[in-house]
């Protein structure tokens, strides 16, 4: 069973209304402040556990940043807002491109999310060449994600494994 399904099947899971309330609170915090504010509420840390926590057991950044990203889009146009998705593939790619040295499968610190958002904004603002316009921030996200997924698949491919 996929890990994400545990929120629905484990006896220690949160009731659906509480999950919805926590996600809604994070979206509200993001809308009133920054994407990092929403991220911070949902991140499971030693300081953010218990009844008053915003975290949802078994749901990590790759899931809840998708929630933030989709909630931040302009409902009329669908254009992206400030929030982006942070997942394993993005981390693999920025480690490769920028040497960040982040672990690939952890709940990344809010500072990592802030760094990722800043990096994507910077890359979106850089023209590809003379006369070219900046690109949308979600296009940077998509390109970085695709690179990370490609690198991940390369590692897993038997053709590209080093002999033992």
Q: pLDDT at position 1, please?
A: 46
Least confident of 24-28, 35-39, 56-60, 132-136: 56-60
Question: What are all long-range contacts of 14-19, with beta carbons under 8 Å and residues at least 24 apart?
Answer: 14/56, 14/57, 19/56
Over pLDDT 70: what percentage of the chain? Answer: 82
Least confident of 95-99, 103-107, 110-114: 103-107
Give the residue-averaged pLDDT of 147-162: 85
Give the residue-averaged pLDDT of 30-59: 78
Stronger pLDDT, 45 or 110, i.e. the higher one: 110
Domain with 154, as residue range(s), is: 3-160
> Do residues 89 and 145 touch, judged by C-beta distance below 8 A?
yes
| Per-residue confidence band for 122, with pLDDT thresholds at 50, 70 and 90 | very high
> Do residues 160 and 150 touch, judged by C-beta distance below 8 A?
no
Q: pLDDT at position 56, please?
A: 76
Give the residue-averaged pLDDT of 72-96: 93
Give the residue-averaged pLDDT of 39-62: 73
Can you tell me the distance from the alpha carbon of 124 to that of 21, in angstroms, rounded to the nearest whole number?
A: 33
Give the residue-averaged pLDDT of 50-70: 80
Q: How many domains does the chain have?
A: 1
Least confident of 21-25, 50-54, 148-152: 50-54
Torsion-angle region of residue 78: left (phi > 0), alpha (psi -120 to 50) or beta?
left
């Amino acid at each position: 069973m996929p890990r994400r399904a545990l929120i629905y099947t484990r006896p220690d899971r949160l009731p659906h209304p509480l999950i919805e309330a926590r996600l809604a609170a994070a979206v509200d915090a993001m809308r009133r402040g920054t994407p990092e504010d929403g991220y911070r509420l949902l991140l499971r840390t030693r300081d953010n556990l218990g009844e008053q926590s915003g975290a949802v057991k078994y749901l990590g950044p790759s899931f809840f940043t998708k929630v933030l990203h989709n909630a931040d889009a302009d409902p009329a146009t669908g254009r992206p807002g400030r929030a982006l998705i942070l997942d394993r593939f993005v981390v693999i790619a920025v480690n490769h491109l920028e040497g960040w040295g982040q672990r690939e499968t952890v709940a990344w610190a809010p500072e990592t999310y802030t760094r990722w958002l800043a990096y994507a904004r910077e890359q979106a603002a850089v023209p590809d060449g003379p006369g070219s316009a900046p690109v949308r921030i979600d296009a940077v996200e998509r390109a970085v994600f695709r690179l990370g997924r490609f690198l991940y698949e390369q590692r897993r491919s038997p053709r590209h494994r080093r002999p033992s």
